Structure 1
Amino acid sequence: MLRYRMLMFKLNRLVGKNRLTGAEEISLAGQFAEMITSQEEVDRIIADLVDHENPQVRRIGLAAIRRSHRFGGQTLMQALLRRLADVEGWLRHDAVWIAQEGQLDGAELRAALRRVAGNVRLPQDAVRARDNPADGLLHAAVRARHVLDALIKKSAAAHNAALAAGGALAGANDGKPYAQGSIGQIHSAHRQLQRKMAARKLRSSTKLKFRKVEPRYAENDNRRFLL
Structure 2
Amino acid sequence: MNFDFLPKYLPYFNDGMIVTIFISAFVVLIGTLLGIVTALAKISKIAPLRWLANIYIEIFRGTPMLVQIMLGFGLMGSISLPTFQVGILQQDLGRLIPGIIVISLNSGAYMAEIVRAGIEAVPLGQKEAAYSLGIRPRQAMTTVILPQALRNILPAVGNEFVTIIKDSSLLYTIGVMEVFNGAQTVANLTYQTISPMIFVALYYFVVTFVVSRLLVLFEKKLGKGYAK
* TM-score, structure 1 as length reference: 0.25
If asked which structure has higher relative contact order (CA below 8 Å, sep 6+), I would say 2
Question: When you count helix as a share of all residues, which structure comes out higher?
Answer: 2
* TM-score, structure 2 as length reference: 0.25
